[in-house]
Structure 1
Amino acid sequence: MTLLVPCRILILILLALLDHQRAWALRPFTGTPSALWNVRHPLSTTRSTSSSSTTCSRVFLKNHLTTTRHPWLVLRGGADDANGSVAQESADKNETTSSSGSSDEFPPGPRPWEAPDAALDNYLGPIVKTPETWAADGSRKRVLIFMDAFCPYFGGYMAHQARDVYDVSTVHVVSTYMKNFFAKEQTEDWKRWMPSSLPIDLEAWKERLPSNDIVAVHCESDSGLPDAEQFAKAIGANHANEPNEARRDKFLMNQVVAEAGIPTVRQKLCTTLNEALTFARELLQEQASKPTSNHQGFSDAGVLGQGSNTYQYDGMDTQQQPPPKAFCIVKPKRGVASEHVHLCHDEESVHNACKDILSATVFGDPTQTHNAVLVQEFAVGTEYAVDIVSKNGEHKVAALWRYDKRPCNGSPFCYFATELIDATQSAIGAQVCQYAQSCLDALGYKWGLSHTEVIVTAHGPRLVEVNTRQHNMDFAPLTMSCTGYNAFDMLLAAYLGDEPPETYPLESANMRLEWDTLPTLPSLRMHGAMVHLVSFVGGKLTTVNGHHLNDIHNMESTLEMEVYPEFLELGSEIAKTTDIRSDAGWVQIVNEDPDALKRDYDRIVQLMLHLFVTEDGSGVGSTE
């Protein structure tokens, strides 16, 4: 037995040397199962519910990463930083493990689904540390700027790779909104993010950079995107997009795409209730008069599926769950996820949707409320997401995903899974990718990451929205396992790959991707998906079914999993899952055998019905 562990480690080392990617993609099996669950890819962390922490949390990232204007006037510094020096993330990462919650239902032993909770210090390092200026050859280092990069497995991972693999200096800034957020919240660490002095103009700010060779400005937050575009242009970044409001405004976005000759859903921006009711009535009548025909058939090279109902598009079968009656969409023109997005079927529901939206604050600007609502045709079909990396207008797909969304807990769009699809084996998938690439061209997007959502209807693909940022989930372990690379390393290759090889450290050559060798469409070597744990109950948590959680953990396909702390702490108030932001956790599943993957997925969905019990005795849900 003592020889088995060294042999296993030796085999993993040899495999890592053969694979030009990082060894963490191989999921090294060391220690106990609980230790295995705590081994995540570099710089990863979990959601934190602590008010004094700004780790990569669902609540923090999705609710608070918004911004206003002039981000270059906000340098990230600390209270002890008398000169307001820019900050550099430390390469030292020391994760700490925390546990929360208990239950008589838990079997004895460790609970491996509780992921480690990394503190802010563990991945940011000393805030007052100044970026390195000089490369080993005596030249000034190139500079890559990160805005609102709080998440270790998003901006944190990319900054780490930029420094260690490309020997690039990284500089971190926060938007004005984030400065105001930290000041308002007065968390224990807020001063660490704020400089004690600010430059009075842009030139003074630029003088603090290690070099004038600024590669790009990479923005992690959704609301920081317009400021990042303006910032990159103002400081003369080498790789920057021209600012374009249509990349954030959902009405303008569809309008610009339609003007480019790309099919889109019908829409109207309505400033009065009567205007919204009139257009919604027109859409509902039109949809009711054109029922969708259905037949049985195979879908799109996907594995998990969403039910047996399908329809045919351009001679190919694609899945859908036809609505029992006509619908239209009412939503704000600016927002994230499914926030304030309403599926309406009559005038009363349209009226209620308008009331909700017009009383809500604008995402990214809590001082303003909406003055209009966007009414759109409801696209019936399967929804896909396309992650793309763009290099000077050349768009390469990093991953193609298909959503399994189902009606649940009173919500029409509850996420159950986000599944990787092989675009090279799916005619529909290839057309979705081409459609998304055309949308980026129409919006003038030439550099950076993007996450585009598309619904395939009976008449072809239709745009949901383009997000010029990363896919907002921890996708890297899945894509590394299933395709062999990830979008962040692709982006670094796009930004930095044109330099001669001798420009960068020789010892990290096997960790760099070559842009020209990357395919336009990715193929899968394994099947994988992110399963979103759905809570079917709400109220005071009394029981957590540890047996079911252990069953999920021990499944053949399970790669990683996490249950959020509030769903493990007895006595805490939990809510029913209605969208991606209210789920109870996640499970990443990967398998070479598509049948085995689907079997494990179906079993997880069954177990989710009985994971949690609340004080009123509720604990049995339904996916209907």
Structure 2
Amino acid sequence: MTRPTGVLVDAYSTGNYLPAAFQRRGVDVIHLQSTPELMPSMLPPARDSYRDFLVFDNETTAVKELEKVAPLFVLAGQEPGVPLADRLSELLGLRSNGSALSTARRDKHEMIEVVRAAGLAAAAQTLTDDVETALAWANAGGHWPCVAKPLSSASTDGVFVCRDEADLRRAFPAIIGSKDIFDITNQQVLVQSYLEGTEYIVDTVSADGHAYVCGVWRYDKQLLPNGKPIYNRDVLMDADDPVCGPLIAYTKQVLDALGVRNGPAHSEVIVGPNGPTVVEVGARLNGNMHPGFHDICLGTNQADLIALAYTDTDRFLAEYGDRVYQRRQPALVFNTPTERSGRIVAIDEDAVRRIRELPSVVELTVKRAPGQVIVPTKDLLTSPLRVFMTATDEASLERDYRAVDDIRESVYVLDA
């Protein structure tokens, strides 16, 4: 007897955790690739996790092929797959966020305009391919500092904090004509007012408009001399912290405005003097999602929650709908920076061992291999290590974080 089947579109990066989550619920998955070739800048989908691996040609053909397997769902595994998953799930009559607001869930300019139209706090912004137009906008509105970034990328790719006209002039040629993390050539620059305050992640999984908040994390950031912000570590918040109530309430309003009624969302929101303001929302899993790590500190994880929401919606709504997580113990994700550059000739296994043996370390991801080049960190993509850490008390976690910080530059052996 053939097992029930679902479809994942563009399950790159942490989307790789979804096949196993659905298989644990007795559902096989088919992968649908939205582009002729795999996107080279992200961790690709693992082919052996899927019953079949399809490449999208056109809507008519895709619908006919998928109707043969009567899928339970069509779900985006990563942001590039959102528009196609929205459209196909709609055409097949499956649980869907619909296609009417798909653009607003991918295009950061449209996203903020939709949020603003809903009466919610949002950044001032302009979209242009002309730096003089951007300068005129910033000067006329007094928008200094401002933020320049690509229209639909992620992981702080191509994001510049511009303190003055010279910074903005440098940002434009760095963005225009370059390819973003999803292999799309940037033809315009989104320039937004700089939001003062502390930035937070709000991760959710929804079914029929009922969102479960499965984690709130505070970004501890560093601003490099070149104006690039880098995320140093994500720190898990206690849901009872006073900042979380208003932050969660605002984020749910943003999800409603953007039509995110089903599936995951990874929202980035800055809380400033006047309250929360959205930076952006991705209808996807957290890029730092790690099931084993999240199970320890949160009691569950986004991948398993997604699988439950799509395979047993009644149970999901009964156990999680409209609720908020409780932190089981302190946790953080450390995306380590480096100031070194050169070709990697070896991995110092003793340094790796010393990090892995720290009591708080759940997992260490060594992102580079011998033969590759390492460069000074300018964004999340150039961070060379990711360390998932949790402990029963804050002091132990902080002690081990400091130990990792001391060891991190020893992991890669570089040529002379």
Q: Which TM bucket (shorter chain)?
A: 0.7 to 0.9
Task: Check conservation: 1:221, 1:469, Cα contact below 8 A.
Answer: yes
TM normalised by structure 2 equals 0.87
Which of residues 320, 328, 331 in structure 1 aligns to 2:146?
328
Correspondence 1:562-601 to 2 at 5 A: 562-566=365-369, 569=370, 572-601=372-401
Q: Indicate the SS of the match to 1:264.
A: coil
| 1:555 corresponds to 2:358 | yes
5+ unaligned residues in a row in structure 1: which ranges? 1-131, 135-140, 182-187, 287-325, 500-512, 617-624
The aligned amino acid for 1:429 is C
Task: Check conservation: 2:161, 2:227, Cα contact below 8 A.
Answer: no
Aligned mates of 2:358, 2:120 — CA distance in 1: 43
Larger Rg: 1 or 2? Answer: 1
Correspondence 1:537-548 to 2 at 5 A: 537-541=340-344, 546-548=349-351
Aligned mates of 2:131, 2:316 — CA distance in 1: 53
> 406-415 or 477-486: which moved more?
406-415
Aligned mates of 1:493, 1:257 — CA distance in 2: 29
Give the aligned partner of residue 43 of structure 2.
Answer: none
| 1:373 corresponds to 2:189 | yes
Give the aligned partner of residue 221 of structure 1.
Answer: 78
Task: Check conservation: 1:263, 1:462, Cα contact below 8 A.
Answer: yes
Identity between Structure 1 and Structure 2 (%): 26
Give the aligned partner of residue 44 of structure 2.
Answer: none
Give the aligned partner of residue 159 of structure 1.
Answer: 19
Task: Check conservation: 1:390, 1:494, Cα contact below 8 A.
Answer: yes
| 1:382 corresponds to 2:198 | yes
The structural deviation recorded for 1:399 is 1.1
5+ unaligned residues in a row in structure 2: which ranges? 41-46
The structural deviation recorded for 1:362 is 6.2
Correspondence 1:199-348 to 2 at 5 A: 201-202=61-62, 204-209=64-69, 211=70, 214-244=71-101, 245-283=103-141, 285=142, 327-348=145-166
Q: CA distance change for structure 1 residues 535 and 198 in 2, over 3 Å: closer, same or farther?
A: same
| 1:440 corresponds to 2:238 | no
Q: CA distance change for structure 1 residues 487 and 444 in 2, over 3 Å: closer, same or farther?
A: same
Aligned mates of 2:263, 2:173 — CA distance in 1: 37
Task: Check conservation: 1:544, 1:612, Cα contact below 8 A.
Answer: yes
Aligned mates of 1:521, 1:157 — CA distance in 2: 22
The aligned amino acid for 1:515 is L
Give the aligned partner of residue 298 of structure 1.
Answer: none
Give the aligned partner of residue 418 of structure 1.
Answer: 234
Give the aligned partner of residue 30 of structure 2.
Answer: 171
The aligned amino acid for 1:359 is G
Q: Indicate the SS of the match to 1:598.
A: helix
The structural deviation recorded for 1:179 is 6.4
Give the aligned partner of residue 516 of structure 1.
Answer: 318
Question: RMSD of aligned C-alpha atoms?
Answer: 3.0
Aligned mates of 2:137, 2:237 — CA distance in 1: 36
| 1:133 corresponds to 2:2 | yes
Q: CA distance change for structure 1 residues 606 and 180 in 2, over 3 Å: closer, same or farther?
A: closer
Aligned mates of 2:193, 2:293 — CA distance in 1: 33
> 342-351 or 444-453: which moved more?
342-351
Aligned mates of 2:78, 2:15 — CA distance in 1: 10
The structural deviation recorded for 1:517 is 2.3
The aligned amino acid for 2:86 is E
Which of residues 146, 155, 158 in structure 1 aligns to 2:8?
146
Task: Check conservation: 1:452, 1:467, Cα contact below 8 A.
Answer: yes
Q: Indicate the SS of the match to 2:340.
A: coil
Aligned mates of 1:390, 1:600 — CA distance in 2: 35
Q: Indicate the SS of the match to 1:226.
A: helix
| 1:471 corresponds to 2:277 | no
Task: Check conservation: 2:31, 2:54, Cα contact below 8 A.
Answer: no
The structural deviation recorded for 1:590 is 1.0
Aligned mates of 1:274, 1:199 — CA distance in 2: 40
Q: CA distance change for structure 1 residues 535 and 202 in 2, over 3 Å: closer, same or farther?
A: closer
Deviations 1:398-436 (A, max 9, x none): 11111121134746322221121122x211122222221
The aligned amino acid for 2:11 is A
Aligned mates of 1:544, 1:221 — CA distance in 2: 30
Aligned mates of 1:538, 1:248 — CA distance in 2: 34
Q: CA distance change for structure 1 residues 364 and 156 in 2, over 3 Å: closer, same or farther?
A: closer
Aligned mates of 2:313, 2:348 — CA distance in 1: 53
Give the aligned partner of residue 176 of structure 2.
Answer: 358
The structural deviation recorded for 1:443 is 0.8
| 1:428 corresponds to 2:256 | no
The structural deviation recorded for 1:277 is 0.8
The structural deviation recorded for 1:394 is 1.0
The aligned amino acid for 2:20 is H
The structural deviation recorded for 1:472 is 1.4
Task: Check conservation: 1:543, 1:614, Cα contact below 8 A.
Answer: yes
Q: Indicate the SS of the match to 1:241.
A: coil
The structural deviation recorded for 1:612 is 4.5
